Structure 1
């Protein structure tokens, strides 16, 4: 990096961006990171100040940790926040107010864990929701073998009433978020969770309206997006996180070709998605053979929509590899490559996760061309700082 007294005034990271009715002052997004720091699902004052510090640090948009929708099967940890309990809504109102007072913008990430229910904490009295009752074909994973062995036993497939209940719960959560003053809605549709499980052929073997070929497997996430769009109106943006990899198997892929990727993402954009949040282990990794274009790059190229690159910005190891290697992940200055790709219009937004834990003012640090922080999981994931 250049000297700290040489601000990145010409960096594409600091161009403003308008998405529907939302004005972003820059292209830096704090990506969702599960904190399990909301006792009983209620965000505390510490949570409000945690997000406020990132807003005060100059981050253009904050996407919260995953927020469970109003179904027992949506979440398997009591300290993951929700939006449906009245006291939790009061907590989120304080969070939103704190972020806005600091000049920030914030979106909740709505979440249903689907087949991965029980990964954070064993729960025996609630059945997981799975499209076809399948956990997914095990492969390269960071889950303990005990959990995998327990989870691969098939369960009942989701019924029509289950599907309708999930769609309604997503819409209700989005409507509540709009009422609380959130600036956008984010949806977790990747990593093998429920919406992604409908896209993955290993977990969706249905032969009704919710399964079949790749286009037919998009029907459920499309229905969720449409319900959310109807609930929140035309002004609030919708961000949709998708991935190729699954936590059941990091080598699994939803789309084998750019054309297949376009089928999935095009249907989501047509349903009302504004930003395609391309979650990958490295933001600059080629998504398909024969091109160095990233997953976010292909998302934009195949749909024309705004896209966001996510994965190991400023760090030498992906989240999974970092956890396997030890608590400390060294910083790697790949910011110039991030800016090069963004400057070439490969993608539009930069999603930064772990560096936001290491440095609440990471947006300002990058603007000032300051030194990148080192990420230490023991210090930075343990408490809200």
Structure 2
């Protein structure tokens, strides 16, 4: 780790060229501010807190910077409100693919909750079809612009609702059309993942993968339930696994080694089983999962060889991109191109597409891309 000998400078231009893999990104958290305004005008939604793109972007960012996951989630009221028609969903999905490709993302799994997009009369299937159509349009547009990206979808059930089994069935129904997995999301406190065991059992019975938002706001018990009771394949965030790791007194979170660290049973299990952590540094600060980037356990987990991945979570609310997340980690922890290659390979290994597809992207796209940067 910490290879700073790269021939390419770690600047925004080079970072955009670096191939990236994104596993944790919410469709309703990544809209362009101008698109929110356009769609609000089209559907007659008059509750937006600002009437120009710059002010609206600032409002989303500032409102999300509350340090509370519950308050953070409230910002989605406005984006979800304008994503209730097939045309709106397709547009948002198309622009999502274009924006990610423009940032150098070569593979993305973007998630959303179909149950939140039914107020205008769409069925669950019609919602998913619209999003997949939009992804296909975005992939084609990116290709025309000289960018290649693979877009896949995760369907999410809201953990405070009672439709998780239905959404799991939706995931399996569309598994050969672009939906590669299932997720539950929403406020963790009071809504443990074990409430949705029937959905997870259905996914396992159909040999279908899933991830669970856990260990973001509620802590270690949420992670324990997700892995021990529910059998999750990945941990959405999982940042609080650090609570099961004892570091030597006086440890610097930016250190290059953490010799003497003691792992508890949960942390050891997560590391031993190579359960991927979908870490979202900027978002984790905004929601109060960690106090600051300097306090983020990303570096500890990376140095202890957990399978860490870098993610955006919600690009609109966090005013971020994969390139911005990379440069944030570089500035805080001194990572170089070889580190980012490892994090990217970690993510591709953890993707929910089949092994041959993962291997092809690693061998033919990711490693050659970083070879040019590392020299």
TM-score relative to the length of structure 1: 0.49
Structure with the higher helix share, 1 or 2:
2
Question: Larger relative CO (CA 8 A, sep 6+): 1 or 2?
Answer: 2
